Amino acid sequence: MYNSEIAKIFHEIALYLEMDNIPFKPQAYEKAAENLEILSEDIAEIYKSGGFEALEKISGIGKSMAEKIEEYLKKGKVKELEILKKKIPVDLEALISVEGIGPRKVKTLYQKLKIKNLSDLEKAARDHKIAPLDGFGEKTEQNILEGIEFLKRDKGRFLLGEIEPVVEEVIGKIKKIKEVKMISPAGSVRRKKETIGDVDILVSIKKTSQPAVAKAMAGKVMDFFVSLPGVVKIWGKGMTKSSVRMAGGFDMDIRVVPEKSFGSALQYFSGSKEHNIILRKIAIDKGLKLSEYGLFKGSKMIAGENEEGIYKKLGLKWIPPELRENSGEIEAALKNKLPKLVEPKDIFGDLHVHSNWNGGEDSMEELAQTAMKMGYEYIGISDHTKFLRIENGLDEKKLHERNKEIDKINSKFKIKNSKFRILKGCEANIMPDGSIDIDNKALSELDYVIAGVHSQLRMTKEEMTNRIIKAMENPHVDIISHPTGRIIKQREEYEFDFDKILEVARETKTVLEINSFPNRLDLKDTNIRKAKKAGVKMIINTDSHTKRTFPLMKYGISQARRGWAEKGDIINCWPVEKMKSFLKKS
């Protein structure tokens, strides 16, 4: 896809222009880059069918940028960027990823010290060559070294699943301070992004007419925050904002805001930046001004205590944080057409659970007991099949035995007058040729069949696409587990044609899994949205090998929400009979 390549080029041009302090042009390039990223059609196709004029019609693209796109499509490069790069030949993307370093500092560092990349930067900082430069200093030099360390470890982003439990604990503790009125996470934690750069927490303190008292209360919160267990470094501590590094290696910021501005601050710090820019523009169009302090008409504050009020005054329905990425949610809110997103209470059960029959931790009965306690109506046991020897995969005979055991447990439930049921499933392996590693007769004894790719992940795009298609065409296969195969921060998704998979999934009524494991979250949000649009049904599963990971379901749910999924899109939000009849493909 050329879109993201060209977006990257425009992004880089923007950075170079910022280096020279050129006003407004950088934003224009950033804007264009962003529009290209979210454009669903292929830019090369647009050019092929509509020519230069079609390029100019794309929002944010004018004559000059259309020329650059044309140039790139024809020659594979953009001369203007080549010239800029020649002037300051540095690894811009890497250098600005260091906290506190921006394009202007990159320029100075190159001109004074010939720093081109991260290792140059690290060496210069270690040799104390940076502190003497104009505009730099001891502190900056130290921050650079720490910033580089941070980057080296985990590329500076953390899984939501690692971060959120810590955030919840911290919030729980701060909540207990009696001066605290409201508290909420903000930023990407609140939007439930799959990875988190740093954490923002927002606090309001109880109303008082005396500024000195307010100050003392804020001070108390700040003192408490920076002395929390788990804080390893204090970056800064003030009356309105403090910032710390946690033992987990990530940073956490807290802000104290007045009660009357809590909603506007929450809105503002929840982002995304792109979402907020549009909101501010809407405010301006209405003759208003929106900031973290409130929504103002002249000097009069007309909203700010809560988010709903702000959105309402701007003519919008309140938008769930998971949607705030400027990817159509504002338009939808204007037309009152926001989706009714799936919620934890909508989930009836989990169909991707491994028992001790295939090397999992817990017996089927224990798993069922835990699921019942969570309020589920059913649980599906989907043990691995024989190809996965390392996971103790079951062969036809073992699978049959296991099924009989499930019948036994289910009849016990019946005696106890419980509605709860264990469903018989498996997670079969999709072989490189697309066949399933266990025979159809064994599969036909099951309530449902999950199939997944677990081996030989490196194939050509065509081979992998055909492999998965063939599996979906098996009349017994109901669900494809972790369909893209990615592991966040470890492994890219495999090469395959997702659009084609969607087509066949719809035709064969195959369900695609949203795997809830924090390092999988597969499908990812953009895939989910595509699937929904294509009319393909999905299921949110945990892929648990122990009852302890049942609660991870919430990450799958938030991922589904980020993908605009509603109850109707997710089959484990349906009553069990409806779900079962949908699964029976043949």
Partner DNA sequence: GCCGTTTTCGGCCCGACTGTTTTCAGTCG
The single residue among 50, 172, 238, 568 that binds DNA, judged by CB under 7 A, is: 238
243 contacts DNA (rule: CB under 7 A): yes
Q: Which residues contact 430 (CB under 8 A, 6 or more apart)?
A: 436, 451, 452, 453, 454, 467, 468, 471
Answer for the pair 309, 263: CB distance below 8 angstroms, yes or no: yes
What count of Cα atoms within 13 Å lies in the side-chain half-sphere of residue 205?
A: 23
The single residue among 6, 7, 9, 32 that binds DNA, judged by CB under 7 A, is: 32
Residue among 264 and 429 whose Cβ is closer to DNA? 264
CA distance 37 to 5: 9
The single residue among 50, 51, 89, 137 that binds DNA, judged by CB under 7 A, is: 137
Cβ 22 to DNA shortest distance, Å: 8
The single residue among 269, 420, 498, 550 that binds DNA, judged by CB under 7 A, is: 269
Token pair 């020897």 is found at 389
Residue among 36 and 423 whose Cβ is closer to DNA? 36
Binding segment toward DNA, per CB under 7 A, in 94-102, 358-366, 531-539, 558-566: 94-102
468 contacts DNA (rule: CB under 7 A): no
Cβ 24 to DNA shortest distance, Å: 3
CA distance 488 to 377: 31
Beta bridge partners of 252: 199, 244
Beta bridge partners of 97: none
CA distance 455 to 439: 19
Binding segment toward DNA, per CB under 7 A, in 61-69, 171-179, 302-310, 366-374: 61-69
CA distance 398 to 355: 13
Neighbours of 414 (CB within 10 A): 12
Read off the tokens for 196.
């988190």
29 contacts DNA (rule: CB under 7 A): yes
The single residue among 39, 103, 121, 518 that binds DNA, judged by CB under 7 A, is: 103
Cβ 48 to DNA shortest distance, Å: 20
Chain centroid offset of residue 185 CA? 16
> Which residues inside 9-28 make contact with DNA, applying CB under 7 A?
18, 21, 23-25, 27-28
Phi-psi sector, 359: left (phi>0), alpha (psi -120 to 50), beta: left
63 contacts DNA (rule: CB under 7 A): yes
131 contacts DNA (rule: CB under 7 A): yes
155 contacts DNA (rule: CB under 7 A): no
The single residue among 1, 216, 247, 284 that binds DNA, judged by CB under 7 A, is: 284
Residue among 131 and 487 whose Cβ is closer to DNA? 131
CA distance 144 to 99: 7
Beta bridge partners of 203: 183, 256
411 burial type by CB count under 10 A (0-12 exposed, 13-18 middle, 19+ buried): exposed
291 contacts DNA (rule: CB under 7 A): yes
- Sheet containing strand 289-291, edge to edge, reads 289-291, 294-297, 300-303
The single residue among 2, 235, 318, 582 that binds DNA, judged by CB under 7 A, is: 235
64 contacts DNA (rule: CB under 7 A): yes
96 contacts DNA (rule: CB under 7 A): yes
Q: What is the greatest pairwise CA distance in the chain? A: 81
- Build a one-symbol-per-residue string for 173-212: x at contacts with DNA by CB under 7 A, - elsewhere: --------------x---------xx-x------------
Chain centroid offset of residue 496 CA? 21
115 contacts DNA (rule: CB under 7 A): no
Cβ 38 to DNA shortest distance, Å: 14
Residue among 276 and 527 whose Cβ is closer to DNA? 276
Cβ 250 to DNA shortest distance, Å: 11
Neighbours of 162 (CB within 10 A): 16
Residue among 216 and 239 whose Cβ is closer to DNA? 239
The packing angle between helices 160-175 and 553-562, to 10°, is 100
CA distance 71 to 43: 13
Cβ 518 to DNA shortest distance, Å: 21
Residues that contact DNA, how many (by CB under 7 A):
63
411 contacts DNA (rule: CB under 7 A): no
Which long-range contacts does 119-122 make (Cβ < 8 Å, 24+ apart)?
121/95, 121/148, 122/148
Read off the tokens for 239.
């009356």
65 contacts DNA (rule: CB under 7 A): yes
134 contacts DNA (rule: CB under 7 A): yes
Cβ 306 to DNA shortest distance, Å: 20
CA distance 106 to 101: 7
Residue among 81 and 332 whose Cβ is closer to DNA? 81
Cβ 303 to DNA shortest distance, Å: 15
- Sheet containing strand 198-205, edge to edge, reads 180-186, 198-205, 251-257, 241-246, 231-237
Neighbours of 66 (CB within 10 A): 20
Residue among 241 and 567 whose Cβ is closer to DNA? 241
59 contacts DNA (rule: CB under 7 A): yes
Site for DNA, rule CB under 7 A: 18, 21, 23-25, 27-29, 32, 56, 58-66, 96, 98-106, 131, 134-141, 143, 187, 197-198, 200, 235-236, 238-241, 243, 269, 271, 273, 276-277, 280-281, 284-285, 289, 291-293
